[in-house]
Structure 1
Amino acid sequence: MPACLGSVLLRQAECVPIGRTETAVNNLNPVFGVKFKVDYHFEEVQKLKFALFDEDKCSSQLYEHDFLGEYICTLGVVCYMSHCSWSLSVTPFCICLSLITALELSDNRIITLTLCGRKLDKKDFFGKSDPYLEFHKQGDDGKWMLVHRTEVIKNTLDPVWKPFTVPLISLCNGDVDRSIKVLCYDYDNDGGHDFIGEFQTTVNKMSEAQNSLEIEFECINPKKQKKKKSYKNSGIIILKSCKVNQDTKSLIDIVGIDFTASNGNPREASSLHFINPLGSNEYLSAILAVGQIIQDYDTDKMFPALGFGAQLPPDWKVSHEFAINFDPTNPFCQGVEGIAQAYSVCLPHIRFYGPTNFSPIITHVARFATQALQQETAAQYFTLLIITDGVISDMDETRHAIVQAAKLPMSIIIIGVGNADFAAMEFLDGDSSVLRSYTGEEAVRDIVQFVPFRDFRNAPKETLAKSVLAELPQQVTQYFKQRNLSPSNTASE
């Protein structure tokens, strides 16, 4: 019973699993329905490993199963060749081909289908049928490729399948007139699934199933159709609903900038906030390097940018959560360049002060993340990027704020600039131990990533961004899984 595991190979041959297919029962030529999704970074050599196992036991542990073989390649090769087949390196066996398809996911539309069947052919001798559906799309080469497989509905000729959602680009490459073949099978435990029938359609045709209007497709078995003149069909597949929407998941990015006195007078060259003749400093470099990556995952590219630790005009009171554009009702900046511009304009109008308190700005973002919890789906995830130069003054309050924030859809990225002692930041990172509040409460997950800018001063900005964002995808997916949340399917009218 073959199953395939996909992994990403990092430095020193470390493997990070990216997914596992379903198990194909008693099948030497399996066609897996599960897809592996990997972000493609042009500037990196991204190695992939595909391993095949024969599942003999009811266990999720790979060592419990027989290893059949593996193949290692780069994602760049997959993207360049688009369709690839390779023999697996197997000892002592000699099997197996793997087909990989690479897609550029530029279309963010999703399609949700609700289907049922009526009077399907009876295939089981002692029962009815155990029907399921397979959706295949036609490639440019004319070949059909499996896109989605529904669940099996036991012992019925009138199945009702659960609604399912797939990216439109996966179903038809974003082409609503591309042919889609739907096959119906009767599931058998021995893997010899019986073919019931099939039909072809397009997204354009299926889109007619709206506003309580259902579409019926005759399920045709071509062999039976040729043999019997009286043959009509092998049942009816009914499309009850078809909805094509925009996938509205978004990453809400918020920037927090340290304006405490320990940074030095921004008018003096020794200050970390001093803007050199090239128009840059470590704060701006960090904002641009990280922001240019994460802004691609923000739907509107409007970023709230906040400052802390400075005295503000006209009364010169200290604030630890002020809008750097001085508009508290609309602290948003247009893109990363907008943040950089607001930062440069802000500098001469504030007085650097202190202390270096993190908890107010973390709590500020947590309030918005708490509001996101009221939604039924995981529509928003908040990322707070804090750029700072020194030791935290309110460590106990910050630890408590982070522990509470770990329950919310948010992550915290801290970039340390300058040459200060960042031991406290590394403690908050939580990679070596679980972070605890002063009350003793443990963080339910690690949401902090700390990176010292000095380690990347002479490195390409892509290297800094890669290190800073390394843990973010895992933190996002971990939160969704813990909360049992699904991606947002909000319609874009």
Structure 2
Amino acid sequence: MAYTLGSTNEGQTRSVGPQHCVTRVELSVTATSLLDRDVASKSDPFCVLFHEVDGNWVELGRTETAVNNLNPVFGVKFQVDYHFEEIQKLRFAMFDEDKCATQLYEHDFLGEFICTLGVIVSNKKLHRPLILANGKPAGKGSIMITAQELSDNRIITLTLSGRKLDKKDFFGKSDPYLEFHKQGEDGKWMLVHRTEVIKNTLDPSWKSFTVPLISLCNGDVDRNIKVLCYDYDNDGGHDFIGEFQTTVTKMSEAQNSVEITRDYTFLDYILGGCQLMFTVGIDFTASNGNPREPSSLHYINPLGSNEYLTAILAVGQIIQDYDTDKMFPALGFGAQLPPDWKVCVYWPCILHAYYTQTHADTQIKL
């Protein structure tokens, strides 16, 4: 049996199925010029990471303590699930360790920094001053947070063929197919992929297929892979033809033409410097109804907002972390604007604000 691995041919579809919306991110923390809370020596800082859950801060983890060090580089990393569509608020708090303390608040507070995970990953490396609990700058001390994606998004494409396989059918040849299994930590074999069946042949060539490397061998190129070959039978009693065991490393050595590529995720683009721009378009046509009536989308409840403002806020709070200038153009369309009252296809909403301020008795006609 022969096998080759490599990149797909030009024009060939390379699909490994839907990607997960959650990506694991590793956060590394360093600090500089921290406050010195000790008398006979320097501070012994450690960092605690909290995330916000229903308005409360919940601890996610702690670094090790850097003894007698005002410029610590912490070896312990924080791992967080990244959800683009959510506002994930994080709090990095620095403390000077007191060996007699049994509660976190008993350690000397050195300062903190609060932001969203979106801000961190959009900057890749974030350097900010520490703030005291009362909101005032700590005066000394800053924190640097670096984000790195942990997900193994390497993919591998295999093209396999067989030669002179055993004849298992009485009135024909064989109908061979392959099964790929990886070995789990418990030593048991788990099915990873099954090829299509090639009818009536002893020299099959199966279609190229692409799988995530983490699915094939848990991302370990030296982990054993078992390949089984069967003759397909309609009654389910498939005849065993043969098997072999190999690894990605061995297959690479055998063919000398292996290329493992990456299936880029959304976070890869963000960490690579991609920015998102947010532009708002608001419908001012009469289809929205009288803005003075509660049934209108433009109606602003004295006790709240309206559906437009709610939608803009929900989207804007997410997108703002990935936009450097934090400027969001807002355009309106479908209204008659002063002074000539002609229907305007679109206009910057700042004009609405201008006319509202300078012509208190002037209103846009729907």
Query: Same fold, TM exceeding 0.5?
Result: no
TM-score, normalised on structure 1?
0.33
Structure ranking higher on relative contact order (CA contacts 8 Å, 6+ apart)? 2
Instruction: Name the one with the larger strand percent.
Output: 2
Instruction: Name the one with the larger helix percent.
Output: 1
Which of structures 1 and 2 has the bigger CA Rg? 2
TM-score, normalised on structure 2?
0.42
